[in-house]
Structure 1
Amino acid sequence: MSSSKQPLLIIVGYVWPEPNSSAAGYRMLSLIQLFIAKGWQVIFASAAELSPHRFMLSTIGVGEHLISLNDSSFDQWISEQAPDAVIFDRFMLEEQFGWRVEQACPAALRILDMEDCHALREARQSSFQRGVAVDAQALNSALAVREVAAIYRCDLTFVISEYEMQLLQQHYAVPAMLLCYCPFLLSDTQPGTSPDFNQRQHFITIGNFRHAPNWHAVLWLQQDIWPKIRHKLPDAELHIYGAYPPPKATALHNTRQGFLIKGWAADVADVMQQARVCLAPLAFGAGLKGKLLDAMRFGTPSVTTDIGAEGMATQNGWPGMIANNSEAIAEAAVALYQQPECWQLAQQLGYTTLDARFSLTTHETRIWQQLSSIKQGLAEHRQHNFTGLMLKHHAFRSTKFMGQWIEAKTRLAALTQPD
């Protein structure tokens, strides 16, 4: 993927990266750094508002560009940039901008970064709310049709979880050539200096309050799990961190019960290393969990569910404990909190899990070889993806004309608006 000029990657972002607010932000930053390390120039473009917690991309040499939805100004801009590759941050951005990229720069490699499988997350949430198991009907939702169609229309899709790699190939029959396993990528997985068992106290849970699985976990803790833990550990506190806490969350703050809503954590390392145990009771969700990655990085054993540990555990087990109901989660949390030897073994397992699963050096060569191979044989690669050609033929026309209609309607409204 080399040329005489510095290759250019444009990322069309759903939101501006917030690595201290969400796993999605952390992952996006790692992808940016992967391309920079390979000598690429990177421009991040988004129609989202500039968020207060966003990472200042200019500090690592990344260009920033504000774009508009349903506006042909994007077409001219990206044509002038002539990128070698474009990453769509979630399938909704491919729907919005995919046809524009193909039209303006057809030779650019088009990559979809799923973040996590939205269809799986929705299927699990809706099934959980109905009290039933996830079945084929739940997985084959309208959202799934849109997401899988976007995968086919792209040249390659980054998939964060091995479980989701299997789901896409086995349930949705997506060809392996369109998928690239790309988990969290850590440049340094060596354990640093971290407070030991006796230097830590209390529990922590962390996660963006806007994310439905995180909000449900907070409610589950408040209503059922934490009272059971507090009964056994009356002096313990649960420190709850997360970006954008709504009033319904801050209203749960209760000093007497040790249930403390802390809000946004400016330094995840600091708050995570103060806690003895991380709690992540996730009843539904998808992808990999940034909070559990951080727990491993900063030496904090965790208690989570099967869904929380999905795609992250190794054959050696989990760096903490896994439980799936209130009573079992509370018992596991109390046991881990009170047993130094068990806690220390879990901490060490967290470090080895990081190295085994998320080391950049483990995945970098494989990812880059797949990208390079597709880029070099792009025309042939696309011809072998007939379903993608078919979907682009039909879908791009519908989204193209819808986008052009919205743009024309907006301009007409502006012209007819009274002074």
Structure 2
Amino acid sequence: MKILYVTKALIAPPYAGCMQRTVHIARQLKPCGQVTMLAINRRFDSDSVNVCRQEFSRFDQILLRSYTDFPKRRGELLRKFHMHWPTLCGIRADRQGQALFETLAAQHDVIWFHTLGAAQPFSLPRTTPMVMDLDDLNHCKYEQSARIQTTLRFRLSAHVQSYKWKRLEREALKRYAAVVVCSEQDKQLLGGDDKIFVVPNGFTLPAEKPTCGPPDPLRLGFIGTLGYHANHHGLIWFRDQVWPLILKQRPNASLRIIGALPPEKNRVKAEGFEYLGYIADPGPEMQTWSAMVVPIVYGGGTRIKILDAFSKRCPVVSTRIGAYGIDATDNIHFLLADTAEQFAERCLQLMDNPSWGKTLADEAWTLLTQKYQWETIGVEIRNVVSEVLKPICQP
């Protein structure tokens, strides 16, 4: 069997959440047969391309035009038009790119797209079975974003984009042989159709089970790129609403922030905030945290950073939106809080009681090993392919 895997997220470190999903689903498809990766984007870096060429027996790429390739005013108008028009989500491939896609599609038995954005540039074949991995439900992200916008203009924009993505996600059920989402909640939001399959995000376990040393009672942590608006907004909410309540009780507390360093002007600054930059192996650092905070107040899909904390046996305090889609239980696997007062209280409880944090981390580790290993999830991934091919294989 030959599978064409089409994605906009290349597999090069430092891994963002979507990159981790891309690489692991593609790897779990390999037992089904030969996997060809087709990467489409406005630009590629050589490290990403080299990683992909080493990972897959065949790797092709299509370079899309960028909005910056147009005159400035025209490019900006085109970008906004594509953002809000109900049937579009980006620039189409040119004739050469479309021809390469059609050639590859004809040579493969199944096409697996990672996100609607990976399929949108092309005219799609009518005969080859196709799988659409929606990953996040974008309509949820914009629906929640509309609630926090402070101006009428941005609220209207978010509502329009929510409507647009909801329509595109619903139409995917008609267009593709199978639709993949990250959680049972997302499946039900799309109507619970039998052709919707749940493939949760997972995380690779370390070679050895991490030890739980005594954490620093004055130290909390955060992981995420602040270039992603939901992370940036969440950290601002934490700084403005939660952090003063923590400092009132623990004046010397610190929040250690791991992730690609944003420009100085985009950093969320506060007394006790320490930026560490990207760390290839954050495990030793996370072992010193009393808790990892996930103060996300809007977004779609599941937060891989929570699974990352589970794999490091680091306690987690999260909003319910931050923990969305992860089949874990409050007060057993992590602590949930949605108001600033609750969030601060939860953090202070773990700073005061490290043994409770260890108990939460132990339960979270067990959950991760039972449900969120990619080797376990791989069974569901390959089942999607089997179901898609079943009508063709039946006499």
The interval holding the TM-score normalised by the smaller chain is: 0.7 to 0.9
Q: Which moved more, 1:227-236 or 1:296-305?
A: 227-236
What is the alpha-carbon distance in structure 2 between the residues aligned to residue 336 and residue 267 of structure 1? 24
Query: AA paired with 2:174?
Result: Y
In 1, Cα distance between equivalents of 2:276 and 2:45? 20
User: Residue 34 in 1 paired to residue 28 in 2?
Assistant: yes
Post-superposition offset of 1:19 = 5.8
How far residue 80 of structure 1 moved from its aligned partner, in angstroms, is 3.6
- What does residue 79 of structure 2 align with? none
CA distance in 2, matches of 1:360, 1:197: 29
Distance in 1 between residues matched to 2:108 and 2:261, nearest whole Å: 34
Q: CA deviation at 1:33?
A: 1.1
Q: Does 1:241 align with 2:236?
A: no
Residue 237 (structure 1) shift: 1.2
Structure 1 partner of 2:225: 208
Residue of structure 1 equivalent to 2:172: 150
Q: Does 1:59 align with 2:59?
A: no
**Does 2:312 correspond to 1:298?**
yes
Note closer, same or farther for the CA distance 1:60–1:52 as it changes in structure 2 (3 Å cut): closer
Structure 1 pair 22–366 and aligned structure 2 pair: CA distance change class (3 A): closer
Match of residue 353 from structure 1: 367
Maintained 8 Å contact 1:242/1:265: yes
Higher mean alpha-carbon deviation, 367-376 vs 308-317, is at 308-317
Q: How many angstroms does 1:189 deviate by?
A: 8.1
Q: How does 1:12-161 map to 2 (within 5 A)?
A: 12-18=6-12, 20-51=14-45, 54=48, 56-61=51-56, 63-69=58-64, 70-81=93-104, 82-97=107-122, 99=123, 101-102=124-125, 106-129=126-149, 141-161=163-183
Task: Give the RMSD, CA atoms, in angstroms.
Answer: 3.0
Question: 1:138 & 1:89 partners in 2: Cα distance?
Answer: 23
Q: Which deviations, in whole Å up to 9, do the C-alpha atoms of 1:89-123 show, x marking residues without a partner?
A: 211222222x2x41xxx443211111210011111
Alignment gaps of 5+ in structure 1:
1-6, 132-136, 381-419
Report the CA distance between 1:270 and its aligned residue.
Answer: 4.2
Distance 1:361 1:208 in 2: 27
Residue 146 of structure 2 aligns with an amino acid whose one-letter code is S
TM-score, length-normalised on structure 1? 0.76
Distance 2:376 2:203 in 1: 10
- Displacement of 1:306 after TM fit? 1.0
TM-score by length of 2: 0.81
Q: Deviations over 1:246-281 (max 9, x none)?
A: 43333x445xx2112333333343443342310011
Larger radius of gyration: 1
Q: What amino acid is the match of 2:114?
A: D
**TM-aligned CA deviation for residue 296 of structure 1:** 0.4
Identity of aligned residues (%): 21
| Aligned-pair CA distance for 1:10 | 2.5
Q: Do structure 1's residue 165 and structure 2's residue 187 form an aligned pair? A: yes
Q: 1:212 to 1:318 in 2, by over 3 A?
A: farther
Q: Distance in 1 between matches of 2:218 and 2:52?
A: 35
8 Å contact from structure 2 (residues 202, 307) kept in 1: no
**How much does 1:51 deviate?**
4.5
CA contact (8 A) 2:215 2:287 kept: no
Letter of the 1:176 counterpart: D
Residues 1:217 and 2:227 are matched in the alignment: no
Structure having the larger proportion of residues in helix: 1
Partner residue, 1:309: 323
Aligned to 2:209: 192
Q: For residue 191 of structure 2, give the secondary structure of its aligned residue in structure 1.
A: helix
Q: What is the match of residue 86 of structure 2? A: none
Which whole-Å CA distance do the structure 2 matches of 1:93 and 1:198 have between them?
Answer: 43
